[in-house]
Structures are given as structure tokens and as C-alpha cells.
Structure 1
Amino acid sequence: MTGYDAAGRATGETVTIPSSEVGLAGTYTTSTIYAPDDSPWSVALPKLGDLATEILDYDYNDLGALNTVTGATTYIASTRYTALSERSVAQLGVDGRRVGTRCTARTEPDDRLSSR
């Protein structure tokens, strides 16, 4: 760990990949900024192989459930939840290439999981 915030949460981590891993060898550091409820607000990712450095920003609804994740692109464009705060639909990707996913929800009287 490279540091901690006032709440004792790790704000950074360094990982070293050995030289035997061709194309990935090196030392990489990530850093995280947290929301008051310990959820990530922002995560900085290092350049790794062909992937550029990136900062992921997380957005949450009023109940603290994840709405969006954005960075160099949009990873989660929107999320909808049931009345029981279970994720029901997530829109992944950017406009023009967006994919919608239906999430597994508890719909059976005996609380079994089923996919819609």
C-alpha cells in the first residue's frame, strides 16, 4: 500500500510484475478516492501493456447504488433498480455501441433467483 486516508482506507497500491512477463514487466501504481460510505469515487489506473492510463469515475444514486462508471470511455452508462434496490437493467458502453443487460432478480414466491 502506498498510503491511507483519514478513515484508514488504502489510497494507493503498487504492484511489481517481474521481467519474465514480457510486455507487462514493470511497477504499477493505482490510487483510489472514496465516498463517505467507502465506495470508490475515483480510481486512477496506470498504463499497462497497450492500455493507456485511465481514471475511472463512479456515480451513485441517492441510496448509494451504482449508476455509472466512466473513464476514457463509458463502461456503465446507466443502471435501473427494482423497488427492492436490486439491479434490474444496466446499459453498458457508449452511444451507438451500447448494450443493455437484464440482471437476475428475485421474482419467485419462494425467493429463488431467476433471469428475466
Structure 2
Amino acid sequence: MSYIDGFVIAVPNANRKQFIAHAKTFDAIFIEFGATRVVECWGDDVPDGKLTDFRRAVQAKPDESVVFSWIEWPDKATRDAGMAKCMNDPRMAPGADMPFDGKRMIFGGFAPVLSLPG
């Protein structure tokens, strides 16, 4: 079964096009290093919760949207090796043109326990 890295970030609405261009560049590097798929999702229906929610989790401001992303890897070993390569690749270094505040990103690695169909 695959391995998943999940991410939630807040992106200023004014940076949407810049974020997509940034994601195309960085996501291609994940694929180069073994990921099988990368999905970037711009928040469309992200309600405020009573106790917690996606917006609070990343301290999203009123002029920001929540982006939910994931990277699919064939297995954890490929992910660990691929992420190590990514973290050491100079192309992955954050620059002044970063379209979001990486300090407010939440992320984690997940081992699937169920996948439908199949």
C-alpha cells in the first residue's frame, strides 16, 4: 500500500497564480524523486468550526484561502529516500518569492489503512 504526506497551508488570495506556478515547480521535484502523484486543492468550501477547523489550524487571515495538498508515494521507504533528496536539493530552498508563510503549514506522513475501491 502507498504512503501519503499531507499538507495544509494558508495562501493569500492575491497569490493564487503564483502558488500554482510554485507548486508546478516543486511538485515536479517530488515526482522526480519517486512520488507517484501530487494533488493541490484550493479551498472552496472550508467552513468555520465551533471548536477547530482548517482555517484556525493554519491561522488563515480573512484574505487567505486554505490549500489542502497531498503527495502519494509507492511506500514509506521511497518516501523517506525521496524526502531526504528533496530536503538536500537546492531547488527546494525557500526563496523570497514564496507565495505563502511556511511557518503556518501543518504536515504529516500517513500510512493508509483503507482505500476504496480496491
| TM-score, length-scaled by structure 2 | 0.22
Q: Greater strand percent: which structure?
A: 1
1 or 2, which has the higher helix percentage?
Answer: 2
Higher relative contact order (CA 8 A, sep 6+): 2
